[in-house]
Homo-oligomer: A and B are copies of this chain.
Amino acid sequence: MHILITGAAGFLGQRLIKALIARGELNGRTLTRMTLVDQVAPSVDHTTPPELAITTASRDLSAPDAWDTLLDERPDVIYHLAAVVSSAAEADLDLGMRVNFDTTRFLLEGCRARGLNQTRLIMASSVAVYGGQLPNVLDDMTALMPQSSYGTQKAMCELLINDYSRRGLVDGRVLRLPTIVIRPGRPNAAASSFASSILREPLNDEEAICPVPTDLELFVMSPARVVECLVHGAEVDAAELGACRALMLPGITVTVADMLDALQRKGGEEALSRVHHEPDEGVTAIVASWPGRFHTAKALRLGFRADDDFDAVVDAFISEQAG
């Protein structure tokens, strides 16, 4: 089993690599080879079993021939996580189109040219594909109406992966990720940054700012569950996927108040007191435009698992920090 991972130096890529190595197999076949690609060659600081050969490469995958040598090795599974983020795609349309869309098209064409029709291709997509006059609860038949170039590019990739899969040219699966909470690291410029920060910083005895009303709803998933879903995405039977290869992963709906209640339960009154409410209309407008409620019937039927509840999300973070 040879697995190719793009965006392998990123937060999710690194966790996925660790989980796959720990697992040692995928689809019942022993992992013998992993090829890890990113703009800078990813580091691998995990203990690897002797039967597993790991290759790392730095590559700009948006060059038309960048995939050639990678696909010549005929990987069995491809995790395509590489992308430019929402703000960068909005700031630079050409960059977003090239990295988020053309790169995926080159990948699909590369698979097609080499007859890699059994290769399972898993791409990460996003709630950014949704927008417009959304219903209160979204489901598998809700229209994609992206209100950002990032969401547009991801939605176009979804359509293309669907069509190439329908034609039997590749075996694609697209997983739309909920807001990932609790991310490690520091607060950043992303509008969603607060969603991790209001938990992570207080649990680390630091101050945090909450820029949104506490009744705001978010659709969230822990990093551990996202990685579990990525692994599962490669194991789902193609026949079960039906007419659409894309699906929303089963996040859980929580209000910011729910999140702060969990913080209080896990970190006490002192942790809660470290969260300072400083309303920011700009951030609130962006985050409030993201859908907070989904019926993810298809994902659940296919065996993708949600977090048990928000306390479990916080517990997982605390035990990771400790461990």
Contacts and interface: CB of A to CB of B under 8 A. Distances in A.
Interface of A: 93, 131-135, 140-147, 149, 152, 155-156, 159-160, 162-163, 166-167, 242-244
Contact of A159 (B142, B155, B163, B242): B155
Q: Which of A145, A155, A242, A244 has the most C-beta atoms of chain B within 10 angstroms of its own C-beta?
A: A145
B144 A141 contact: no
Contact of A243 (B133, B140, B141, B142): B133
A145 B93 contact: no
Contact of A149 (B135, B140, B141, B167): B167
Contacts of A163: 146, 149, 152
B146 A143 contact: no
Shortest 5 CB-CB distances between A and B: which pairs? A132-B243, A152-B163, A141-B143, A156-B156, A152-B159
Given A152-B162, A152-B163, A162-B152, A141 B146 contact: no
Given A134-B141, A144-B159, 14 more contacts: A132-B244, A133-B140, A133-B242, A141-B142, A142-B143, A143-B143, A145-B244, A146-B159, A147-B166, A152-B160, A152-B163, A155-B159, A156-B160, A159-B159
A98 B21 CA distance: 41
A315 to B, nearest CB: 35
A144 B147 contact: no
A221 B133 CA distance: 27
B167 A132 contact: no
